[in-house]
Structure 1
């Protein structure tokens, strides 16, 4: 490469041997601040910056974090809204034992039983189940409860005001089981739901039943060895008699791409297995054939853009997920419950088709031997709704670290 005073983002990434995604994050985090090109406002880097980076033999950027920690004793989790087991697999990989899982969807329950015959799967509506027999028998309660509006009676939302919602059931089970820590997870939109009232209501309810909530964070799956741009809100409640503090998992610097998911490499020791998958209808296939890798609807000829987008063409916003073909060298966009869903296309980089079931599972970091039960559409739904397994594992490490510190503090003389 020609030596010059300033480098573009792409050139800097090549010089440093890092992805552009990593450099963008370092810029946002203040680890390696980029300058801005005066007219285009694109990121640029001074030669001196890059030289300094390359000259540092013990560079902070090169010291990859490692969140792994071994449990000092057996820790047990009761999981609610367990789905197809994405979070449960992750927690299992971090060394946490699953004492029971509740799930209402019969196909997801079949999936859990097929893969883990030893797991205690409680199939049925959470509202009809009593969990008091697990009181003080699980240190952890987790649950990916759906986001629902509350009835706002008075200034401080109480547990009774949340009746009829699934968060009420989550809080009820936490009350019955009395764990040291509870973890709720949800979509990023929870933070803005009802102008922030919903998340504040949840925090006040957990406070009412005896749990302090750790400052809420959004975890990005791509920071935790997941080749997908998926974001989840994590709600952590610590029982008020527990003095140990909880720390979220530290993000890794390496970003994994679609090629890491579907081809042999660091994430998987073989190419993705062949499997069934959905197909696009002919009219959609004709349109998506015109889209290049990493392209979307704006790459279409103008007349086809207007026809394909309809009224949406005249509305604001980029809508970059519509008619989107994923590139090999980028993480996938967030997977949905239906791969051929209108206006949330996630097209294969080379073939004009949606990702297959096993490709979907790889992007969510499920093991290849994890079987999904039910129809093809049911399998997609289970995978699309899941917490990525690798993200679950990193959350598990944070829980293990918290519990290790808690039990260590009990053994120390006061």
Structure 2
């Protein structure tokens, strides 16, 4: 049986959070929708930090005026607390996902041989300095097997801080929770006082009452023609006639032999949205109904970012923010789960409620009229 705490004053007040390796804001946005207050965030990418500030105040639940664009190795807990107007004992949770490329298949799984892999210990340092009531550490599924699994075990052990925290480790396929994308991730959740957060039970799938959410659902109400659509970040690439012909001839789910990207199946969740390289910024998948790559906004839809969320930058800057993110709706579901099991909350917002708070109109309502339209959302 899992040890839980009785409801406390934390159920009735805003829970304070700090965000590390914030990127384009997937975790920040999701936790905010669940009622957490992100006091301050930090990321080495100035474009990502500007995205967080750019969207601040667009919705009542999201206000994010403080975001520090800096290398985490040069950021201290004092910096974060000062910008948040908080003291260390007032931080309820720290959230974040150190760069995952060092541990992913696409990053060639270099692990601690890649400088990015060493940043996991900077996350631990901030935890030691702040000592929040709880923390969430997100990373790619490949973390479990790299270096024969020893790195995974080392991180799990180190994050306990010598027994101060009880750490749960759960692997999630986000499509099993109503996200229109296949994406495997690991979440370490640490809590004080022996509280162990159980795994969330899947809610969507082939053999379940709720089927997988699909590409067709993710793209509905979004114009196929991005030119002049007025939707932020809905700008695609120009293709040659030769590429257009190849993409036109692809079957759903088939990979183009030249660009090595797949054509999306409208009746299934998307393939994983990926980042690409620093040199080129990566490519999206092939649109299911048009002979072109999906736009950054269409990729953001697969990630459950709302259309009101504008990404700062152009080209690879936006693709990196979208591809690196935790899907905001999944982050919101996880945040609700943590509110209940780590902070004793007695109420829990539903999938539809969180989707509505985020403004995900394309995932709400009946699919009877699910066509992708020629009108902007």
Structures share fold, TM-score greater than 0.5: yes
1:93-112 residue pairs with structure 2 within 5 A?
93-112=33-52
Contact 1:325 1:345 in 2 (8 A): no
Deviation of the 1:238 alpha carbon: 2.0
Structure 1 counterpart of 2:184: 231
Q: How far 1:324 sits from its partner (Å)?
A: 1.6
1:400 matches 2:339:
yes
Q: Alpha-carbon deviation of 1:164?
A: 8.5
* Contact 1:243–1:406, Cα closer than 8 Å, also in 2: no
Counting only pairs closer than 5 Å after superposition, residues 19-98 of structure 1 correspond to structure 2 as: 71-98=11-38
Shift of 1:336: 1.2
Supply the distance in 2 between the matched residues of 1:368 and 1:231 (Cα, whole angstroms).
Answer: 24
Q: Which SS does the other structure have where 1:179 is aligned?
A: coil
Shift of 1:279: 3.8
> Structure 1 residue 283: deviation in Å?
4.8
Q: How far off is 1:294 after superposition?
A: 2.8
Distance 2:24 2:284 in 1: 23
Task: Say which is worse superposed, 379-388 or 330-339, in terms of deviation.
Answer: 330-339
1:244 corresponds in structure 2 to 195
1:167 Cα deviation from its structure 2 partner: 1.0
Q: Say if 2:133 is the partner of 1:195.
A: no
User: How many angstroms does 1:135 deviate by?
Assistant: 1.4
Q: CA deviation at 1:281?
A: 5.2
Q: Give the structure 1 partner of residue 124 of structure 2.
A: 171
- 1:370-389 matches, cutoff 5 A: 370-389=309-328
1:295 aligns with 2:233: no
CA contact (8 A) 1:171 1:206 kept: yes
Partner SS, residue 393 of structure 1? helix
Distance 1:176 1:75 in 2: 19
- Once the two structures are superposed, what CA deviation does each residue of 1:254-300 show, in whole Å capped at 9, x if it has no partner? 210011101149xxxxx994721234455544432321223335xxx
Instruction: Give the Cα separation in 2 of the matches to 1:396 and 1:81.
Output: 17
1:129/1:288 Cα in 2 relative to 1: closer, same or farther (>3 Å)?
A: same
Worse-matched range after superposition: 368-377 or 244-253: 244-253
List runs of 5+ in structure 2 lacking aligned partners: 1-9, 58-62, 82-86, 103-110, 205-209, 223-228, 347-377
CA distance in 1, matches of 2:168, 2:343: 21
In the alignment, what sits opposite 1:353? 292
In 2 relative to 1, CA 202–342 (structure 1 residues): closer, same or farther, beyond 3 Å? Answer: closer
- Range that drifts further, 202-211 or 111-120: 202-211
Q: Which has the larger radius of gyration?
A: 1
SS of the residue aligned with 1:199?
Answer: helix
Cα separation, partners in 2 of 1:88 and 1:366, compared to 1, 3 Å: same
Secondary structure in 2 aligned to 1:165? Answer: helix
Residue of structure 2 equivalent to 1:123: 69
- Provide the TM-score with structure 1 as the length reference: 0.66
SS class of match (2:213): coil
**1:207 corresponds to 2:160:** yes
Unpaired stretches in structure 1, ≥5 consecutive residues: 1-69, 152-161, 266-270, 298-304, 310-321, 408-414
Distance 1:372 1:98 in 2: 18
Q: CA deviation at 1:252?
A: 1.2
Q: Counterpart in 2 of 1:259?
A: 216
- SS of 1:141's equivalent in the other structure is strand
Q: Residue 206 of structure 1: CA displacement? A: 1.5
**Residue equivalent to 1:411:** none
Deviation (angstroms), 1:243: 3.2
CA contact (8 A) 2:173 2:183 kept: yes
Q: Which residue of 1 is the match for residue 93 of structure 2?
A: 140
